[in-house]
Structure 1
Amino acid sequence: MRMSLKATILIATASAAFASPAMARDDAQAWGAGTANVDLGGGFRASSETVLRFSDNRGGLYEIEENLMVGYKPSKQVTVWLGYTHNPQYDHGDFTLMERRFRQQVNVDNFAAIGKLKLSGRVRLEERWREGQGGPAWRLRPFIKASVPVAGKVNLVASHESFIDLNTNSFQRIGGEERMRNFVGLAAPLSKKFGIEAGYLLQHGFVRNGPDNHDHVFSVALTGNF
């Protein structure tokens, strides 16, 4: 029992050192998302996604994303999307800024398989504006996701997304990789039309000449396909 406790302490210490090499600043967060996808016929689709983000350090709700997109599916695996993001942000209940984005993205479903494990991916390009701060700020967001069945229709999922700033301006100052998101969780259907995905997400933000940021996030997303 004593050896087990020592091993646990060593593993926890090593994990903290690996996750926080630069004395990272940590925040506990919760994210909730709801997405409705509608088949318009002829290969066209419409999507509406609402994301709510809550932060301990920022005193509750700090960000709302409303993502409206229209897509076309030229093949079974590929979907091309165009869309707009409305993104008000808050701090301890006070409105701080409005960000607007245009986005273009290509999704590729199940592009590779290793046994029962399937890989999907997405490449998203965003042009961002903030009121009173100008723009556009160009950002590339490559995303890859792995899924494998673990029990019945329940899948274990893991994903990685990088945020790569293609230019700099008054509010996009890093240049290159700004942050990354790593997620692990479970996904399962709730019915023929609805599904859920929930788990832990670590958002690592790179800070020039200072400690990096770590957001430890409980994330849950509901999706409906109509």
Structure 2
Amino acid sequence: MMFAIRAYSDRIAPFMIVVAMIALPRNARAADEAVQTWITGGGVAQIDDNDRIGIDVSYRLRPGNDQLLQRITLDHRIADGVQLGGGFAFVTSRVQKEMRFHQQLIVDLGVLQSRTRLEQRYIDSAAQPAWRLRERIQLDIPLEKQRKWFLMTSAEFFFELHKPSAVRDSELVTTRQLIGLRHVLTPQLGIQLSYMRQHSFPDDRPDEVVHVPWLAIAWRL
């Protein structure tokens, strides 16, 4: 494998520093730790020059409470590198069922991508929907000229905007940091293996840290 990171270093280095800084935990409180394994499969179909539809299914092996997420999203290109979209998901586990609607804005600058997603979560155990904002910044760095191997890293932040049972309506509740490798097997098929660290900040108990090895397979239809 021929590494070509040097050609991109002048542009990427500032973003890497920013991601590393904002991805740090907000405090050093003691945390409960656990390990999960996530397996995701998904496909994207281009409807026309401006519209695409994506479907993904994620099975999350969690201690004593596995979770299945099924999601569909429609994105519309409003300018070069800018997309607006929305969709919905069903999330089920042993203890909870949820229907989740989302709206999102994606800005794609090639190596750098950002996504802003607003979610409305209808959970079967809650009388009112919970609103959540997710902000993600991601780097997708090609490692050789053929652009078949990519280094990926991202940081994502979850803000509760309104939760019926919460004392405060708006607060940072979770962060995710991810690093992994993506390999383009064919123009239609890619595979990604990554590690994600999820850090949650409950109000009334110790922080929760989850370590997630994550396998994802993506089809372009």
What's the TM-score once normalised by structure 2's chain length?
0.81
Distance (Å, rounded) in 2 between the aligned partners of 1:88 and 1:171: 22
Distance (Å, rounded) in 1 between the aligned partners of 2:168 and 2:216: 30
Distance (Å, rounded) in 2 between the aligned partners of 1:27 and 1:198: 19
Distance (Å, rounded) in 1 between the aligned partners of 2:166 and 2:123: 8
For the pair 1:26 / 2:33, whether they are aligned, the reply is: yes
Give me the CA root mean square deviation.
Answer: 2.1
**1:185–1:154 distance in 2 versus 1, CA, 3 Å:** same
Deviation at 1:50, TM superposition (A): 0.5
**1:128–1:194 distance in 2 versus 1, CA, 3 Å:** same
Deviation at 1:144, TM superposition (A): 0.5
Q: Which runs of 5+ in 2 are unaligned?
A: 1-23
Distance (Å, rounded) in 1 between the aligned partners of 2:98 and 2:82: 29
For the pair 1:105 / 2:100, whether they are aligned, the reply is: no
Deviation at 1:225, TM superposition (A): 1.2
Show the counterpart of 1:36. Answer: 43
Once the two structures are overlaid, the 10-residue window that deviates more, 205-214 or 145-154, is 145-154
Structure with greater strand share of residues: 1
Deviation at 1:42, TM superposition (A): 4.6
Deviation at 1:146, TM superposition (A): 1.0
Distance (Å, rounded) in 2 between the aligned partners of 1:121 and 1:217: 22
**1:190–1:138 distance in 2 versus 1, CA, 3 Å:** same
**1:156–1:42 distance in 2 versus 1, CA, 3 Å:** closer
1:24-103 equivalences in 2 (<5 Å) = 24-55=31-62, 58-59=63-64, 62-89=66-93, 95-103=94-102
Show the counterpart of 1:206. Answer: 201
Deviation at 1:135, TM superposition (A): 2.1
Deviation at 1:195, TM superposition (A): 1.1
1:147-186 equivalences in 2 (<5 Å) = 147-151=140-144, 152=146, 153-170=148-165, 175-186=170-181
Show the counterpart of 2:131. Answer: 138
Indicate conservation of the 8 Å contact 2:129/2:163, yes or no. no
Identity of aligned residues (%): 27
Helix, strand or coil: the match of 1:35?
Answer: strand
Distance (Å, rounded) in 2 between the aligned partners of 1:68 and 1:173: 31
Distance (Å, rounded) in 2 between the aligned partners of 1:196 and 1:79: 24
**1:29–1:171 distance in 2 versus 1, CA, 3 Å:** farther
Helix, strand or coil: the match of 1:96?
Answer: coil
Indicate conservation of the 8 Å contact 2:161/2:169, yes or no. no
- Highest RCO, 1 vs 2 (Cα 8 Å, sep ≥ 6): 2
Residue-pair matches, total: 195
Helix, strand or coil: the match of 1:187?
Answer: strand
Distance (Å, rounded) in 2 between the aligned partners of 1:149 and 1:40: 27
Deviation digits for residues 3-26 of structure 1 (CA, Å, limit 9, x no counterpart): xxxxxxxxxxxxxxx879222101
Indicate conservation of the 8 Å contact 1:134/1:170, yes or no. no
